[in-house]
Structure 1
Amino acid sequence: MKPDLSIVKIGGAFLEEPRLATDFYKAFAALPGPKVLVHGGGQRATQVSKRLGITPRMVDGRRITDADSLEVAVMVYAGWANKTLVAALQALGCPALGVSGADAGLIRARKRPVKEIDYGFVGDIETVSTQALQGLLQAELVPVFCALTHDGRGQLLNTNADTIASAVAVALADLYRTQLYYCFEKPGVLTDVNDPGSRVPVLDPGRYEAMKASGQIAAGMLPKLHNCFEALRQGVGRVYIGQPEMLRGGRENHTEITL
């Protein structure tokens, strides 16, 4: 029987709110068995960009990354955000190891080709080094990925953290029974973004398309849910989206994504 593995993605907004961050650190550290954490940092990257006179640009929830914006992303994602998380988890006895896709060649990507939109230095994932990642897990380390990959020729690339979490879960699905969690501040997918009581307990592709057509799902939720469904189609066992309490087995604070 394959061992269980938890892959958890946390939004950068949690790092900005001490109470939310503390609750998440405790819930993640308490997860049994091998686990991987993937984090964002877009909110802080936006703040730092504005301080530096760089205007952030987004299209359908995805960041346009020119050369200046890439520098900010590396500073924030691989620096402040990653090491803040690693230090907090270490304080709870969790053997966290901060990594990017470039470290040990863990995730290689290609620069997104220019079509209708030029996303700049944004990477689309090509490969995940399952062998290197499994080696870290077998050493009982907890990889903590920031949202950066590389192209194998020395170029760092900004890569959507939701996509990284999905790709890592898919890459390890042959070796582990994988569960993928997307943690954010809402109690799951909502029919009314301003009403926590409008949670959708289970979301399948049909309802997703209907909610997207009606405008109930838009902006940053679009790439997130796309990655949820792709993970399931490629062998990931279970996918959940909601608040960190779901890591403790809570039932009223998440949406389960199904096919």
Structure 2
Amino acid sequence: MPGGATISFSCVDSSLSSLKNCQSYINTGMDIATRVALDLVESLNDVEEVSNMENVMLEYAAMDRELNHYMRAIEETMKRDKPENIPDLQYLVKEKFTALESKNSDSDLQRNEKYIYFKDQLKQMRKQFCLQSDNNDNEDIEQIDEDIAVTQSQMNFICPITQMEMKKPVRNKVCGHIYEEDAILKIIQARKQQKKKVRCPKIGCSHADVKRSDLVPDEALKRAIDSQNKQSWSTL
């Protein structure tokens, strides 16, 4: 593109930083959508509204994918052998971005980490509160039918580390076991200082390398614990 305006790579770096900030806004939006959906299940079990929130999550996932592709296109373009200014940088980024977008599929959105968390928490919430799943939710209905017989009185709200009722439960994404957040983080920190791995504290679990990044808040279980405690206080 002879004679075209040149674009400084320092300007691109600044723009890339701004895009990463946008990604944090998307993550915040997905967190809010998840909490709203859990509120709906807990209070009303409004199937239609919960379905709407799932659509919102998929829209956020699509935005996140597009943003990731754009940032990747910029980063890969900037790795090329380059002078300080390149006249056709915009064209090169667009070409790379278009190639990435051409490989899109709906399954990409369903593999979004926050969407997976959203679906898991909905399933856990329905199980915790013994609510039947929406008939249209075919992928979860069989599993929920198997689990629906589990009642709150039978659930284990006790942390395997502290042997006390959990206040801020976190679930291990690898093995699925749940612990009090502060308790497991203290173990991870202590073992890190000793340069040793952390074995899952749940008796019988073979997972021998628990990492902080493996832990996600279990909002559904926390709500179930809070609900049971409220019922206990009202009975007293």
Q: TM-score scaled to structure 2, two decimals?
A: 0.27
**Greater share of strand:** 1
Higher relative contact order (CA 8 A, sep 6+): 1
**Greater share of helix:** 2
Q: TM-score scaled to structure 1, two decimals?
A: 0.25
